[in-house]
Amino acid sequence: MGRYCVTVTCEARRGIVAVISGYLAGKDCNIRDSSQFDDIESNRFFMRTSFLAEANTSLEELQRDFAPIAAQYGMTATFHDENERLNVVIMVSRFGHCLNDLLYRTRIGALPINIVAVISNHLDFQKLVVNHDIPFHYIRVTKENKPEAEAQQLAIIRDSGAQLVVLARYMQVLSDEMCQALSGRTINIHHSFLPSFKGAHPYHQAHARGVKLIGATAHYVTAELDEGPIIEQDIIRVSHNQSPEDYVTLGRDVESQVLARAIHAHAHRRVFLNGRSTVVFPASPGSFASSRNG
């Protein structure tokens, strides 16, 4: 039987949940998990429902036959195969903690993704990536060649069939044109001090100011630098008797975890854009389980 989920957004109104659950029951589908949210301020409704198609109804049939209901209620509704793995391109510079973490989680099946390419403006991780049987693309980026470099990057993303781009500490600012081309499908990770500690060595700046909490933020990329809709955040306590280098090491651990959780949420269709914010539903039972050991 098929394991699917349906994601729905529309104007909030009475009867939506009943209509969706009634439709699924009429198609011999058994709901396993469901989350919903009414945003009172925007009057928007969001829903994600995971279910089993016990009569082996196809994804195409479910989408097609639901179309008249979606039109009646003004819904944006999409049915997804929960066994489908998302194609992902990772972009990285010279900090490899997030890249290494994602390679490991992907290898053990903890993330439902296929890393189809890694793009870097440095050669530091070429051997690591190639040893994982993943294409590595070195594209040098300078102020003078940035338009040409981004054109090459976009071509790789397009040709690889990537559905998501992850900036795993890619230390280049994307142009407005590239942000627009990848809108809604690019996730970035950064330390949560922004905008308090901008520029070089943010953890050293935080140490100098006696910060007691450090953390990380994963967000969708927009033309506004580090201002995109937030998907996931976390923090860790630090103290006066730790060095700036301790801050860096602890911060990198948090960055890796936050980025992985953001990708997990996106890949499982748990994230909904809501203006400049997001609605992020809890994970379905069993979705964090790894399919194999390390």
Q: Are 113 and 137 in contact (CB under 8 A)?
A: no
Distance CA 188, CA 282 (A): 21
Half-sphere exposure of 178 (CA within 13 A, CB side): 22
Q: Are strands 86-92 and 113-120 parallel, antiparallel or unpaired?
A: parallel
Q: Which two tokens stand for residue 31?
A: 């709901």
Distance CA 93, CA 120 (A): 5
Distance CA 280, CA 273 (A): 9
Distance CA 77, CA 228 (A): 24
Distance CA 180, CA 136 (A): 24
List the catalytic residue out of 39, 124, 226, 246.
Answer: 226
Q: At what angle do helices 97-107 and 244-267 cross, to 10 degrees?
A: 40
Continuous segment of H or E residues that includes residue 157: helix 146-159
Distance CA 294, CA 292 (A): 7
Distance CA 109, CA 260 (A): 12
In 3D, which of 181, 188, 233 has the Cα closest to residue 92? Answer: 188
Is 253 known to be catalytic? no
- Per DSSP, the three-state class of 96 is coil
Distance CA 34, CA 165 (A): 27
Residue owning tokens 């979705």: 287
- Per DSSP, the three-state class of 76 is strand
Q: Which residues are catalytic?
A: 226
